[in-house]
Structure 1
Amino acid sequence: MQMRNDADKRPDPAVLLQLAARETRGKLTVFLGAAPGVGKTYAMLERARGLKAAGTDVVIGLVETHGRGDTAKLAEGIEVLPRQNNGGPYGEFDLDAALIRRPALLIVDELAHSNAPGSRHPKRYQDIAELIGAGIDVWTALNIQHLESLSDLVARIAGVPVRETVPDIVLKRADEVILVDLPPAELIARLNDGKVYLPDNAKRALDGFFKPSTLTALRELALRRAADRVDDQMVDFLRQSAVEGPWATGERLLVCVGADAMSESVVRVASRLASGLNARWLVVSLSRPGAPLPDPVAAERLEETLRLAERLGAETRRETAGDFVDAILRLARREHITQIVIGRSATNRWFRRSLPDALLAGSGEIGIHIVPGEGSTLAPWRPRKRLTLPQWALTLGLPIASVGATTLFGLGLTALVALQNLSMLYLAAVLVSAVIAGRGSALLAAALSFFAYNFFFIEPTGELTVAQPQEVLSLVIFIAVALAAGQLAARLRESADLSRQQARQSQALLDFSRKLSAAHGQESVLDAIASHLHTSLGRPAVVLVPDEGGDLLPAAAWPPDQALGAAELTAARWAFDKKEPAGFLTGTLPQIHYLFRPIISAQRILGVAGLVMGPRDTALGPDEERTWVALLDQSAIALDRARLTRESARASVAREGEKVQSALLSSLSHDLRTPLASITGAVTTLLQLGEKVPPESRQDLLVSIEEETARLTRFVTNLFDMTRIEAGMMSARREPIELAEIIAKSAARARKLHPDLVIETSIAPGLPTAAGDAVLLEQVLFNLLDNARKYGGELPVTVYARAEDGMASIAVTDQGKGIPEAELEKIFDKFYRRIKGDGRPAGTGLGLSIARGLMTAMGGTITATSPAIRKRGTRMTLRLPLAGGKAG
């Protein structure tokens, strides 16, 4: 057995990472008891008082004394956080108050408690997890019946259902578990003395939960769980210290099975052994790389054996190895196995030891448990390979041909030159046979070379006798060297074949990964999965995924012309619901020719993949099994990525919607409040002062009311127009319109709103009429002029119109700061507002968005260009088709 080097004896990295993670969080200590009344809270408070006396900052977050005076007395002198008032009779633990206070040690009783509705977390152990994550040490108490894995067992023992449970992982991740134990007789005495419940409740408890038999069973469960916890802590310590297994801290079994009839008996014996030892056990099935597939009966027997092991509580694995003894011992040491269970096997036909004998020789401190019986679970030699007719021809023909050719060549060569080492030619024939046809062909070539060399080249020739004693030694050495060289060459060939096979599998996975990386969307991912399953495994493949309603439907297949019947869909649904294989040679609908497997990611099950199996197929071979598992893992990652992409897109749309809604509310609140405030102020002044207001001031107030009302009307009109555009309700006429007239009306309307605005117009002579809606075009031009005033200030705005390329073109140019190129398209988005010269955004962000919507409705376009003139300004260009298609 090969020993590990000292350099390899390193601490377990996973355990070191866990240890490092613990340094950044608080410590959890659980006081574990078998039943109420054993003194968990009392012990917890008693220890806390000792720590407080030593100077530790101890705070009680919540303690339930249940009316016990001695327990309440221990809590005196320790700071107690006020409870959260949630309408209940006692109040709840205040998590936020504890996080603000941040003591060194916080006591929070009743770990299994369910919080009141409306609390941040539904369970108290989740509150404690948040405290631990915040770096606060927590002490808490728990009864064994509240562990989730034991709740049903306790219900059967005590006849009382357990309503509040805690996941076992909470106790497993605790930094320390302190067992608070009390014999059943003493606990019943405390109950009779009224130290556990009030007299009425105590009498009911004695008739139910507090029976001696029940308390004894609960005490045993608590002791066992505490012992398991200590065992886990010892294993972590040994891993941190790089102490190599096996470790006598708890039994762990490794069970070796195969496709023979004895394996079921081995599994059942191992199950009884594991149950008696309270041990974890692992069942492994080993196969050789490139080994032939077992017959269908043996394959089904192996599958049934592994399923039986899983039902009995074992973990199952499939491993591939060239040397079974080395693989088993390596796995045993890696998994810290203390006993190996194996069936008795026959002695190897090549006079080597049986597998149990080889394991006994190399196991060291690991115990070997041999199950007697007929047959064998494993054998360390390679099973005989069933060769096809062409393979038989190559295996037999190549040695005969190579040895015959070597003999003829040697006879011809010796006729010309006297040679003393002609045996080297036959070694070449053996090597050629080994490299091309394998080990069997090499052995045959060695045997034929032995006889040919003796018959043709050793005196007396023509006979199978040896005249000289030294020739006998040469012949023996030749056959030994030939056999050794043939074996080595054959092993080299097998290693090369295995390397090529692994390279093909790796290349297939790489190609598949590239396909999935290049696929966009779930449909393309599903097509890539189906096609690559078909290519890699050589069988028709189908992929099924659930639709929005949860129905499992075929989504991709290769070849595409596959139809699933009712039985196939039932098997696929079973694989999806149960997360286990179904169909061909499984325990569910084994008669169908589809084999279905679930596609499972770390978060959820995503779909089902199916392969079409032939009527003469057996179960998938080890290499095919590994390939399929790898492809399914890659598929799960790709489908999960596609799902996350869809969810991200939906979330992005939702965020954009929220941003638009926020912008809308902000715009509404500002643009409605400003004119309303002006109108309200003017009206209030007129109502309160009445005739006291001078006529000039009254006129100014009325003008202000009129202007702000017009402003409010424009804003509401813009909102209404935007709503109509988005709803597709905006209809535009396509009739001849005079552009000069519309430009004049728009300019007059803009001057009325902005008296200081200078508008310069230039209309090409003979400008033809355009096809559009006069009212909508006037609104667009007004929006552009209003926008130019906001960003161009009091500088002149130029409007010119002309006909070009069969279109009517109207350009509105301001002389403001201009717009960065990256924002030329954004300015047409709803609620997008640029910053004015005074540092504040202008307008509501609807004017240009409405202008584009109206132009689109009329069949025209609007574009922005910046800078427009002298490296400044912005030009908005409207283009409409000419009436009748005429160009000016």
Structure 2
Amino acid sequence: MAAPETDFDRRPDPEALLALAEQEKSGKLCVFLGAAPGVGKTYAMLRRARSARDEGIDVVIGLAETHGRRETEELTVGLEVLPRRKAEYKGRTIEEFDIDAALARKPQLIIVDELAHTNAPDSRHPKRWQDVDELLRAGVNVWTALNIQHLESLADIVSKITGVSVRETVPDRVLQEAADVVLVDITPDELLQRLKEGKVYVPETAQRAIQNFFTPRNLTALRELALRRTADRVDDQMVGFLRQGAIEGPWATTERLLACVGPDASSQKVVRIAARLATGLNAPWIALHVARAGDDEQDAESVKQIHDALHLAERLGAQIERISGSDLAGEVLRYARRENITQIVVGRSRASYFGRLFRWSLTDEIVRRSDDVSVQVVMGDGREQATKKRRWFRPGNTHYWTGTSAAILSVALTVCAGYLLDRWLSLSNLSVIFLVPVVLCAAWFGLLPAIMAAVLGFFACDFFFVDPRYQLTIRDPSEFLALVVFLVVAFVTGMLASRVRQHSEFMRTRAEAAQSLFEFSRNLSGAANLEEVLWAAVAQIQKSLDARCVVLIPNADELAPSAAWPPLDELDPGETSAARWTLEKAEPAGWRTGTLPNVRFQFRPLSTTRGVLAVAGVQFRQPNEPLSAQQERTLTALLEQTAIAIDRSMLVGEAVKAAALEENEKLRMTLLSSLSHDLRTPLTSITGAVTSLRQLGEKMSQDDRQDLLASIEEETGRLSRFISNLIEMSRIEAGAVAPRREFVEVGDAVRAAVERSRKVFPDLNVSVSLSQGLPLIKGDVNLLSNVLFNLLDNANKYGGGSAAVYARREGGDVVISVTDEGQGVKPVDLERIFEKFYRGGRVDGRKAGTGLGLSICRGLVGAMGGTIIAQSPAIRRRGTRLVLRFPIPEQPRQGKAA
């Protein structure tokens, strides 16, 4: 018994809801679709625009091509029209749609006519549909017009129907992602009548159009294509509405298509057919190119064919994949099964004459081995196959001529060696020695030279060493059998040796790539900062690809080169615009892309999970040739590692900043804690004493009043010392302490500090011991006196009521020490006591002091060129000794001491 259906089972499709949410973030596109020029697309679009304006919608005409039609021009009256951008092209001035003005104006709705138009070369985008795409991403609703023949997947069909090649095309995804498609349709007879009345073209042009493009047969076929594509689009919309509303319906099993792209011209036909199938099935699809392992001999034309086919597939909405392997059919089928492919679209391929003797063609092999995947074979024409067959025999193919020469020369040398062996050893059969040139040619030059060596060896052995000699005849049947066996063995040996060669070349290439990536990873791991990462990246990319590389990192509103190799001072405005586009849109721009393709560099985003961190630009030495599969893989791997390294360097920098902020926060909290204690305590005492004196006045005895006044004086001095310490510490940290460098009598500074401490700390018992004949030191007598007073202040707080000051000479230094008899300092804290706000405990356990005194002492002593350290225990396993050490300068002559 089936389980009852619940509301959860009828929930909306999450993917449909996500697609709807994505549409809400951007502007909506409405395409007015027609079968041919003149059906009234622009007229219908402007009429609806006027209605939208009357409803209060902000409508602007970015570009509307009226082609001189009076009734169409009248519809533009009363609507705001953006000025067009003027551009120079082939010596004349043309007017183009100004996308920057449209983005600055940013209306609710903008009219941009002729979606398939090609922009002027200096435009930001080569195609107008890319301008529209940018407007949509900016949140602007766009209405545009399109003829059905300009859809990319229908270009070859339209060319076959009409005999006219379609140069300007629009990717199918633009129509698929449009929010609305409005079909503007009239019958072929009506369109021909409009053409005759001059409502489409001028009379001379109209007459030529009727004779060529505008025939009833062509218009009927184009009308059918427009109706079918509109019906498909409406069906997709209905399915989307059903999924979003959780309405039941029989959903078809998801299809996934795979288009196999090769180096022949039929690959573009395969791509277009796969795109049409995917559109009809509403299925995702993948364009796959499988490179033969070790095959690094593809000419520029083959590489261009592959690149153009994959680029076309990308524009048609395919996912692009490149893999390599020795078994091409096996690699295709393994990929198909791994990616859950349901249909494979492959062009018909024929093996060469020798290939048909030993193996299937690629198409036959895929069909034979695809047990669970459907295969659709696209038929090519004979010209493509003939071109493919003649590929090895081009006069410019140096590899072919080198292999041929090697086969002829090696067989000739083998014949000479055979003569020598026949004269010295009188062997009955010398055919086996002709395997040597076969193996050598296969190992060094590949399969075809090996086959040539085998055939030449067969005839050479017959001609020179089989009776009757010097004739291509064989008398003995056993000799004929031996030669046939030799030829078979030579063919098999040549194939195996060639395969070993290919595998070794493939492994060598992989090993070099792996070694390059390993060295790059090691260099990046050793990079200490972001600058070293960037220089390592540009140097490695230049070394691996023989191309100029530049990396740009955004800094505030600027985007300038941070590292480049070979060195580059600055980019031109067009290159800067392409780099900024890559940074903002996270899409490639520049050379061989859809955005500013005329600049020298191709810019790619360096992205991580945190977004686009930087932009890398690469300029190749051969701008007219596309990237090979190996170059693409190498560049992608290097850029991915670079992005990770940049992210790591930035995270390290952010971690350092965070640690500094955390340390500053700790210091701030410590300072606040110190202030709250060290200011509140004396202020409380002063406030209490003043209040008592004011309220009691004459009622208090004279002794009590004197005690309160003494308390006020003591706490005021404490506050004064605390504030002085804060000011002194800020001056030290700011580098504002500039002590006088004059000769100082140490004894005077010690006596001044001790005398001051006896007044401030009457309960502290201080003893002084000064050696006779102490030399002068260089410094500031006031600062030195302040240092010694702070040390005595510290002894008063922690020293147990007594302190001893000693000054003596030790070698080339004058040493001053202040020793107390307190509890002492733990060995681990002997350095910490000089840190800001570090405070030890008093004998009674209460906190005391601000924790700035010793830190100030170290700063002042260092400013005067001396050092200060702490020693504990000092005497009788107790106490702390603070030791100041100053170098003894050259003493002044007698009578000139300061």
Q: TM-score, normalised by structure 2?
A: 0.69
Aligned pair partner of 1:637 in 638, 644, 648 = 644
Partner SS for 1:619: coil
- 1:877 paired to 2:883: yes
Query: 8 Å contact 2:590–2:601 — kept in the other structure?
Result: yes
Q: After TM superposition, list the pairs within 5 Å mapping 1:401-480 onto structure 2.
A: 401-420=409-428, 422-480=430-488
Instruction: State the partner residue of 1:340.
Output: 344
- 1:545 paired to 2:553: yes
Instruction: State the partner residue of 1:224.
Output: 243
Instruction: State the partner residue of 1:677.
Output: 684
Q: Residue deviations 1:671-703, cap 9 Å, x none?
A: 111112222233333334444434433333332
Report the identity percentage: 45
Aligned pair partner of 2:285 in 281, 285, 295 = 281
Aligned pair partner of 1:149 in 15, 19, 22 = 22
Aligned pair partner of 1:863 in 847, 869, 874 = 869
Instruction: State the partner residue of 1:271.
Output: 275
CA gap of 1:810–1:384, structure 2 versus 1, over 3 A, is: farther
Query: 8 Å contact 1:254–1:340 — kept in the other structure?
Result: yes
In structure 2, how many angstroms separate the alpha carbons of the residues matched to 1:684 and 1:800? 44
Instruction: State the partner residue of 1:490.
Output: 498
Provide the aligned length of Structure 1 versus Structure 2: 686
In structure 1, how many angstroms separate the alpha carbons of the residues matched to 2:721 and 2:638? 62
1:148 corresponds to which letter in structure 2? Answer: A
Instruction: State the partner residue of 1:830.
Output: 836
Partner SS for 2:641: helix
Q: After TM superposition, list the pairs within 5 Å mapping 1:21-36 onto structure 2.
A: 32=11
Q: Residue deviations 1:497-530, cap 9 Å, x none?
A: 1111111111111100010111111111111111
In structure 2, how many angstroms separate the alpha carbons of the residues matched to 1:438 and 1:805? 84
Instruction: State the partner residue of 1:7.
Output: none
CA gap of 1:319–1:426, structure 2 versus 1, over 3 A, is: same
Query: 8 Å contact 1:293–1:618 — kept in the other structure?
Result: no
CA gap of 1:317–1:852, structure 2 versus 1, over 3 A, is: same
In structure 2, how many angstroms separate the alpha carbons of the residues matched to 1:218 and 1:394? 60
Q: After TM superposition, list the pairs within 5 Å mapping 1:109-148 onto structure 2.
A: 147-148=20-21
Q: Residue deviations 1:757-795, cap 9 Å, x none?
A: 33332212111333322222111111112223434333x
Q: Residue deviations 1:299-333, cap 9 Å, x none?
A: 55544543443344332222223322212211111
Q: Residue deviations 1:264-300, cap 9 Å, x none?
A: 4433433333233222222223322343576666655
CA gap of 1:475–1:654, structure 2 versus 1, over 3 A, is: same
CA gap of 1:446–1:269, structure 2 versus 1, over 3 A, is: closer
Query: 8 Å contact 1:675–1:712 — kept in the other structure?
Result: yes
Partner SS for 2:609: coil
Q: Residue deviations 1:529-561, cap 9 Å, x none?
A: 111112112233322222x22322122222336
2:521 corresponds to which letter in structure 1? Answer: S
Query: 8 Å contact 1:144–1:222 — kept in the other structure?
Result: no
CA gap of 1:393–1:150, structure 2 versus 1, over 3 A, is: closer
In structure 2, how many angstroms separate the alpha carbons of the residues matched to 1:745 and 1:228? 96
2:476 corresponds to which letter in structure 1? Answer: Q
Alignment root-mean-square deviation, CA: 4.0
1:364 corresponds to which letter in structure 2? Answer: D
In structure 1, how many angstroms separate the alpha carbons of the residues matched to 2:553 and 2:614? 4
Query: 8 Å contact 1:831–1:846 — kept in the other structure?
Result: yes
Aligned pair partner of 2:795 in 785, 788, 792 = 788
Aligned pair partner of 1:853 in 859, 867, 872 = 859
Instruction: State the partner residue of 1:808.
Output: 814
Partner SS for 1:639: helix
Instruction: State the partner residue of 2:331.
Output: 327
2:776 corresponds to which letter in structure 1? Answer: T
CA gap of 1:728–1:361, structure 2 versus 1, over 3 A, is: same
- 1:577 paired to 2:584: yes
Query: 8 Å contact 2:10–2:246 — kept in the other structure?
Result: no
Q: CA deviation at 1:596?
A: 3.0
Instruction: State the partner residue of 1:502.
Output: 510
Q: CA deviation at 1:389?
A: 8.6
Moved over 6 A (4+): 28-31, 152-157, 159-162, 215-219, 226-232, 375-383, 385-390
Instruction: State the partner residue of 1:767.
Output: 774
In structure 1, how many angstroms separate the alpha carbons of the residues matched to 2:326 and 2:434? 30
Query: 8 Å contact 1:785–1:812 — kept in the other structure?
Result: yes
In structure 2, how many angstroms separate the alpha carbons of the residues matched to 1:385 and 1:526? 46
Query: 8 Å contact 2:16–2:240 — kept in the other structure?
Result: no
Aligned pair partner of 1:363 in 370, 375, 378 = 370
In structure 1, how many angstroms separate the alpha carbons of the residues matched to 2:858 and 2:531? 35
Q: CA deviation at 1:592?
A: 4.2
In structure 2, how many angstroms separate the alpha carbons of the residues matched to 1:344 and 1:586? 30
In structure 2, how many angstroms separate the alpha carbons of the residues matched to 1:772 and 1:250? 87
Query: 8 Å contact 1:32–1:144 — kept in the other structure?
Result: no
Query: 8 Å contact 2:294–2:504 — kept in the other structure?
Result: no
Unaligned stretches of 5+ residues in structure 1: 1-27, 35-140, 163-214, 233-247
Query: 8 Å contact 2:407–2:450 — kept in the other structure?
Result: yes
CA gap of 1:387–1:818, structure 2 versus 1, over 3 A, is: farther
Instruction: State the partner residue of 2:120.
Output: none
2:412 corresponds to which letter in structure 1? Answer: G
Q: CA deviation at 1:705?
A: 2.1
Q: After TM superposition, list the pairs within 5 Å mapping 1:563-602 onto structure 2.
A: 564-602=571-609
Partner SS for 1:272: helix
Partner SS for 1:462: coil
Q: CA deviation at 1:426?
A: 2.0
Partner SS for 1:540: strand
In structure 2, how many angstroms separate the alpha carbons of the residues matched to 1:146 and 1:404? 71
Q: Residue deviations 1:733-770, cap 9 Å, x none?
A: 33333221221221233334444433332212111333
Instruction: State the partner residue of 2:538.
Output: 530
Unaligned stretches of 5+ residues in structure 2: 1-6, 31-51, 58-107, 109-233
Instruction: State the partner residue of 2:671.
Output: 664
Query: 8 Å contact 2:295–2:506 — kept in the other structure?
Result: no
CA gap of 1:264–1:450, structure 2 versus 1, over 3 A, is: closer
In structure 1, how many angstroms separate the alpha carbons of the residues matched to 2:439 and 2:532? 50
Query: 8 Å contact 2:12–2:243 — kept in the other structure?
Result: no
Q: After TM superposition, list the pairs within 5 Å mapping 1:645-660 onto structure 2.
A: 645-660=652-667
Query: 8 Å contact 2:295–2:502 — kept in the other structure?
Result: no
CA gap of 1:429–1:154, structure 2 versus 1, over 3 A, is: closer
Q: Residue deviations 1:176-198, cap 9 Å, x none?
A: xxxxxxxxxxxxxxxxxxxxxxx
Q: Residue deviations 1:579-622, cap 9 Å, x none?
A: 33333333344444433332222322222223332247511211
- 1:518 paired to 2:526: yes
Q: Residue deviations 1:777-831, cap 9 Å, x none?
A: 111111112223434333x433222345554332223344544555444332221
- 1:686 paired to 2:559: no
CA gap of 1:472–1:225, structure 2 versus 1, over 3 A, is: farther
Partner SS for 2:547: coil
CA gap of 1:221–1:388, structure 2 versus 1, over 3 A, is: closer
CA gap of 1:745–1:504, structure 2 versus 1, over 3 A, is: same
In structure 2, how many angstroms separate the alpha carbons of the residues matched to 1:655 and 1:667? 18
In structure 1, how many angstroms separate the alpha carbons of the residues matched to 2:390 and 2:365? 16
Q: Residue deviations 1:214-240, cap 9 Å, x none?
A: x999874343358899999xxxxxxxx
In structure 1, how many angstroms separate the alpha carbons of the residues matched to 2:738 and 2:303? 72
